[in-house]
Amino acid sequence: MRTSKLAALTLATAALLVTAGPAGAADGTVGQRETVCAQDLAVRVTAPHGAWMGTLYRGQTFLVEKGGGDWVYGFAYGDINRRGWVQNGWFC
């Protein structure tokens, strides 16, 4: 029984490490031009999980226009320079 508890704890810890953002990463704030902390962040065209438009890289910025939840909508500066959706929680 002790081995199964240890295995469950190990799996839970591994899942947390996979889903957690980089240290210091935060959610975006509506009206703020946020800096990307992720190594790269996919920008989606029409909806969350939608068609890929391009990639923002660490240090590039994103103006959050609509927020809340797992995804935010706004203007992607840098190489893209268009509006789209990005996964929330990857900003410095």
Better-predicted residue by pLDDT, 18 or 38 = 38
pLDDT at residue 1 tops 90: no
Residue 92 to residue 87: CA distance in whole angstroms: 13
Q: Is 43 helix (H, G, I), strand (E, B) or coil?
A: strand
CA within 13 Å, CB half, 91: 22
| DSSP line for 48-81 | TT--EEEEEETT-EEEEEE--TTEEEEEETTTT-
pLDDT at residue 32 tops 50: yes
pLDDT at residue 11 tops 80: no
Q: Is the pTM of this model over 0.75?
A: no
